[in-house]
Structure 1
Amino acid sequence: MVVSVAPAQAGAAGGSSNTAVPAFAGTTDKSAIETAAAIRAGETTALLECEAAIARIEARDGPINAVVVRDFDRARHQAREADKRLAAGETAPLLGVPMTVKESFDVAGLPTTWGLEAARDFVPQDDAVAVKRLKAAGAVILGKTNVPPLLADLQSNNPVYGRTNNPHHPGRVAGGSSGGSAAALASGMVPLEMGSDIGGSIRVPAAFNGVWGHKPTFAALSRVGHHFPGTDGAPGELSVIGPLARNPDDLALALDILADHPLAQSDNRPASGYHVLVLNSHPNATVAAPIADALDRLADALHDLGMAVDRTSDLIPDLDAQQRNYMKMLNITIARGVPQDGSAPTTLIEWFDLRDEQARNKRAWNALFKSYDAVIAPTLGVTAFAHDDTPLIQRTLDINGDATPFGLQFAFPGLATFPMLPATSFPIGTDPDGLPIGVQAIADTLKDHTAIAVARLAHGVMQ
């Protein structure tokens, strides 16, 4: 077996490359469903599609640095086996489709570092459950994509593999922690990816790169094999795994392949059958004017399409309290209860109180969804920002001419994360710099396909 690791790019610890990155928006490369259909029809083979994806990675990834662990020899073997499966009469939904997965997922024989130098040599002996399900569905795994250390940032830069650049602009971040995943999709290298999300780590990279990402209902997909390197304990609170793709159909198919139990399908209602709430602001976090304006245009367009659209509702939970409680739970989970500022650890009583607050917040959102099919809101209040190695706690963003603390932006991912709801991030346009604008459709518990369906309609009306 030959496994190659892409070299860490110069400037990994500071600065960024000014090398021009080709624009891949609107790539004509086949989707996952189209690829599988072409293989089944005999128009191509799994091996040919594997070789084509390898060629795309080798031609495109240099200035992007998304696919940081490459497993091309074993991928070719998987592709040959997929062709044998097809010849034997199998029709698995992803048979022969080449894809990559986020570096934090265990793939037997490949390193899982979570971007940590100390874990550079950890190599798991078994695949994550999600990887097993993708392989069973016929997917061919080409390698793994880049992340930030500990998956704890909204950009992807680490001492093991270096920095991932946004395919639309090399000076901007690709997002995190599934930044390599979204960049690989946006540049057309692969049609399908796997990520994880606790603070927007699927949704934000999808938004920054102009692709689709779905944060499933909490615990709907198995997280076994998506552990801190070398551990096998309980998965963290709030965290989920989920798919990324270049279109909603691939996203929905991957979700069904990965789900522990069948999820209710959307009922294909026309736009006039939906009632949505569109939010373009938050009491704690600023939204850049181009994103707020795009959401206003989206609300108008959906209304013109016949959809019932509200801009505000008395049913909205207390978002200020939700943000405080979400950030507290997020920080406890990431630090495993040991504060990094030297303050006293969280007590069990405090943790139970926080879980009570989460339960109340979830019930409030569930009550809102008795009146609405979905809530559409910013995925983040900004588009892809410039590479910034300032520690997250000290980092600021210039939004509408004002310097604002970076951490406040977690309010937007937290809308769905704290109440454990499904949310689909999808593109609706570009800002004045030509960077993608992504927003999220949030739906009720286990109504994952409703979130994707509303996102599909909303994306379509903005084209």
Structure 2
Amino acid sequence: MKRRTLLAAAATTAAAASLPNTAHAATATQAKDTMNPTALYRSTARAQLTALRCGRITARELLDQVLAHHAKTNPAINAVVTLDTDAARAAADKADQHLAATGRPLGPLHGLPITVKDALETAGMRTTSGSPDLSDHIPDQDADVVALLRAAGAIIIGKTNVPTMCQDIQTSNPIFGKTKNPYDDTKTAGGSSGGPAAAVAAGLSPLEVGSDLAGSLRLPAAYCGVYALRTSRGASPIVPTRGHIPRSAGWLTSSDMITLGPIARTAEDLDVLLDVIAAPAPADRAGWRIDLPAPKFTRLSQYRVGVWADDDYCRVDSATRDLLAQVARLVRAAGARVDDSSRPVDFAASDKLFQRLMYATASATATDDAFAADVKAADALADDDPNALYLKSRTMRHRDWARADEDRQQLRAKWADYFAEHDILITPAAPTAAVDDQTSIPTPQRYITVDGEKRSYFDQTGWVNLAGPVGLPSIVMPAGVTKTGLPLAIQIIGPYLSDRTLIAAAKQLAAVLPAPVHPPAFNA
């Protein structure tokens, strides 16, 4: 699939979608698809589930549509890397038989064919996390979140691509190769949930579960033009994380910063999946339940909205600045109170704390020899050495971690003070639209360009990492396009456990923003 072919098709639609009053052509297309059973796979997850429950289509028929689309579309994108058609067809037939015999669906995701990120252990299905060491790993137990999907009646058809052990913000690995951005194959799909985001964008799956430590869920969503929710995390996550690799296969613990969350083509579909996966870990279910607060508001005019459009610490490009200005105008025009001057935290201090905590938690799976070498190297470094932050954070003593954790709680308190006066905060999702694919270049040599300025490769995740150290919920949603047809996105951050309010805000914003532009592969 050549770059100019992809861009020409995307840009044709982009021209019509660049103004706030543009009719939502994508919504109209999906509405027609719900009336056309042969194209139902392109509809929202909610529409597909309704058709399945009402008998307009069987689970087997819908699965066959998805598999046919996969055969035409996936080879050029490489989003889905493992496919188990026999098991999927058997599960679909079982779902159809159950509905015919009982008149009741298996659960809220009855018969819906979906893919699962290759970092989530899936019983009986190859799960590699992109690592050659796990190339033959077939788990005998589902990750907790995969078990929730199955219990809800979902049909798991295959696994989506990730960087090796999820340790990159672009998606490529030695087993399966590179996942391409469905809008432009010279651009990255992001990482580590690049395969999941590309699969949803291209119509290969209506829903996905991604994982997010350093923007791994939301950056790919921004680059691929879909919605993603980083769910709230306090002492425990609201979506169970056991069975997520790169914690070693079979480990019962996970990072104290990682969250799992839904990826979808609409905000409404985020709700569909959140209802299923927001649940206590199995050991806690006898006494605990997750009861997220209902959305606070029904209209955009009711919100007190903060807007943080740019910052010297992580400058955004002109297209992103223009996007944030347009969003602020639309929110004001809808009657909301907008504050574009207050800041909840110091960006630089927050980012440094995030890096320290991330490097510390990532060291858990290092081998004894590798960790010993890191300790020796860290002890030899001066505090102002360029490598000191990484190595000294990775090898910090427990006392130092406890102090850093106290800093995290203090940072949470600052965010709580901010959200006492604001309901949501809108920021950029990334400094730019999807950047050039650089998976063939060693990471230390990679960089991004922002308005002609060469910048750190890891600046891509600066904005999404604001929510990371403090466990706040955060949505990335498509909000416009560049002149070349690439998606542009915004981020919405809210107070702890305001996940449903954020989804409601995304729905209300979607009604006044340009309609998302689907990639050419979606309509293949």
**Interval containing the TM-score (normalised by the shorter chain):** over 0.9
- Map Cα deviations across residues 351-393 of structure 1 (whole Å, 9 max, x no partner): 1111111111011111111111111111111211111133334
- Map Cα deviations across residues 283-315 of structure 1 (whole Å, 9 max, x no partner): 3212111011101100011100111111121x5
Shift of 1:147: 0.4
- Are 1:104 and 1:112, in contact at CA under 8 Å, matched by a contact in 2? yes
- Are 1:272 and 1:305, in contact at CA under 8 Å, matched by a contact in 2? yes
Cα distance in 1 between the residues matched to 2:213 and 2:312 = 21
- Are 1:277 and 1:372, in contact at CA under 8 Å, matched by a contact in 2? yes
SS of the residue aligned with 1:277? Answer: strand
- Map Cα deviations across residues 188-220 of structure 1 (whole Å, 9 max, x no partner): 122111110001111111110111111000111
- Are 1:441 and 1:451, in contact at CA under 8 Å, matched by a contact in 2? yes
- Are 1:19 and 1:170, in contact at CA under 8 Å, matched by a contact in 2? no
Q: Are residues 348 and 388 of structure 1, via their aligned partners in 2, closer, same or farther at CA, if it must alter by over 3 Å? A: same
Cα distance in 2 between the residues matched to 1:283 and 1:353 = 28
Aligned to 1:363: 413
Aligned to 1:42: 55
2:242 is aligned with 1:224: yes
Shift of 1:233: 3.9
RMSD between aligned residues? 1.9
SS of the residue aligned with 1:99? Answer: strand
Aligned to 2:432: 382
- Are 2:467 and 2:474, in contact at CA under 8 Å, matched by a contact in 1? yes
2:284 is aligned with 1:249: no
Matches within 5 A, 1:12-411: 21=6, 26=26, 28=30, 29-87=42-100, 88-91=102-105, 92-218=107-233, 219-228=237-246, 229-260=248-279, 261-313=290-342, 316-336=344-364, 338=371, 339=374, 342-344=377-379, 345-389=395-439, 390-411=441-462
| Residue type of the alignment partner of 2:200 | L
Shift of 1:340: 9.1
- Are 2:297 and 2:501, in contact at CA under 8 Å, matched by a contact in 1? no
Aligned to 2:507: 456
- Runs of 5+ in structure 2 lacking a partner? 14-25, 31-41, 280-289, 380-394, 515-524
SS of the residue aligned with 1:169? Answer: coil
- Map Cα deviations across residues 390-439 of structure 1 (whole Å, 9 max, x no partner): 33344211101100111233321211111110001100000122100011
SS of the residue aligned with 1:343? Answer: helix
Q: Are residues 410 and 340 of structure 1, via their aligned partners in 2, closer, same or farther at CA, if it must alter by over 3 Å? A: farther
Report which stretch shifted further, 65-74 or 345-354.
Answer: 345-354
Q: Are residues 19 and 147 of structure 1, via their aligned partners in 2, closer, same or farther at CA, if it must alter by over 3 Å? A: farther
Taking only the aligned residue pairs, the percentage that are identical comes to 32
Shift of 1:18: 5.8
- Are 1:424 and 1:442, in contact at CA under 8 Å, matched by a contact in 2? yes
Cα distance in 1 between the residues matched to 2:147 and 2:270 = 18
Cα distance in 2 between the residues matched to 1:422 and 1:238 = 12
Cα distance in 1 between the residues matched to 2:301 and 2:376 = 51
Cα distance in 2 between the residues matched to 1:381 and 1:289 = 9
Q: Are residues 342 and 150 of structure 1, via their aligned partners in 2, closer, same or farther at CA, if it must alter by over 3 Å? A: farther
Shift of 1:341: 9.6
Aligned to 2:480: 429
Cα distance in 2 between the residues matched to 1:96 and 1:443 = 33
| Residue type of the alignment partner of 1:57 | H
Cα distance in 2 between the residues matched to 1:326 and 1:444 = 18
| Residue type of the alignment partner of 1:225 | G
TM-score (norm 1): 0.93
TM-score (norm 2): 0.82
- Are 1:86 and 1:95, in contact at CA under 8 Å, matched by a contact in 2? no
- Are 1:380 and 1:409, in contact at CA under 8 Å, matched by a contact in 2? yes
Cα distance in 2 between the residues matched to 1:380 and 1:318 = 18
Larger Rg: 2
- Are 1:19 and 1:63, in contact at CA under 8 Å, matched by a contact in 2? no
- Are 1:20 and 1:63, in contact at CA under 8 Å, matched by a contact in 2? no
Shift of 1:316: 1.5
| Residue type of the alignment partner of 2:478 | P
- Are 1:176 and 1:205, in contact at CA under 8 Å, matched by a contact in 2? yes
Shift of 1:237: 2.0
Shift of 1:242: 0.9
- Are 2:423 and 2:494, in contact at CA under 8 Å, matched by a contact in 1? yes
- Are 2:242 and 2:252, in contact at CA under 8 Å, matched by a contact in 1? no
- Map Cα deviations across residues 303-337 of structure 1 (whole Å, 9 max, x no partner): 00111111121x52122211111111112222338
- Are 1:17 and 1:170, in contact at CA under 8 Å, matched by a contact in 2? yes
- Are 2:3 and 2:184, in contact at CA under 8 Å, matched by a contact in 1? no
Shift of 1:455: 1.7
Shift of 1:267: 3.9
Report which stretch shifted further, 385-394 or 219-228.
Answer: 385-394
- Runs of 5+ in structure 1 lacking a partner? 1-15
Cα distance in 1 between the residues matched to 2:86 and 2:429 = 37
SS of the residue aligned with 2:187? Answer: strand
- Are 2:165 and 2:245, in contact at CA under 8 Å, matched by a contact in 1? no
Report which stretch shifted further, 219-228 or 82-91.
Answer: 82-91
Cα distance in 1 between the residues matched to 2:75 and 2:376 = 39
Cα distance in 2 between the residues matched to 1:297 and 1:341 = 51
Q: Are residues 410 and 45 of structure 1, via their aligned partners in 2, closer, same or farther at CA, if it must alter by over 3 Å? A: same
- Are 1:21 and 1:64, in contact at CA under 8 Å, matched by a contact in 2? no
- Map Cα deviations across residues 1-23 of structure 1 (whole Å, 9 max, x no partner): xxxxxxxxxxxxxxx97695596
- Are 1:323 and 1:414, in contact at CA under 8 Å, matched by a contact in 2? yes
- Are 1:198 and 1:417, in contact at CA under 8 Å, matched by a contact in 2? yes
Kindly indicate whether structure 1 or structure 2 has the higher relative contact order, using CA contacts under 8 Å at least 6 residues apart. 2
